[in-house]
Copies of this chain bind each other. A is one copy, B any other.
Amino acid sequence: MKFVIKVRLKKGILDPQGKTVNQALHHLGYEQIRDVRIGKLIEVEIDESDPRKARQILEEASQKLLANPVIEDFEIQPEE
């Protein structure tokens, strides 16, 4: 089964990378773009046919390794 894990900085956490990209966009003339925030889009394949178990494994792996739960939220979705 394929899943996508979306990892985003929590609200209120500063995103220096996003800010830098935003400034670069302004320098290029894209003044309309603002509030750029950059997260991760992690695509995985998992050898587990039970979707509930697969999700549980990914939940645990996200907590432990894929995301930093102190500053990031994550969301697990089956891939279409």
Q: In residues 7-50 of chain A, which contact B (Cβ within 8 Å)?
A: 7-8, 18, 21, 24-25, 28, 30, 32-48
Inter-subunit contact B21/A47 (CB<8 Å): no
Q: State whether the Cβ of A6 lies closer than 8 Å to any Cβ in chain B.
A: yes
Inter-subunit contact B48/A32 (CB<8 Å): yes
The complex places the Cα of A41 from the Cα of B21 at a distance, in Å, of 13
A73, chain B: closest CB distance, angstroms: 12
Q: State whether the Cβ of A76 lies closer than 8 Å to any Cβ in chain B.
A: no
Of B8, B37, B44, B64, the contact of A36 (CB 8 Å cutoff): B44
Inter-subunit contact A32/B6 (CB<8 Å): no
Of B25, B39, B64, B65, the contact of A43 (CB 8 Å cutoff): B39
* Chain A residues close to B by CB (< 8 Å): 6-8, 18, 21, 24-25, 28, 30, 32-48, 54, 57-58, 60-61, 64-66
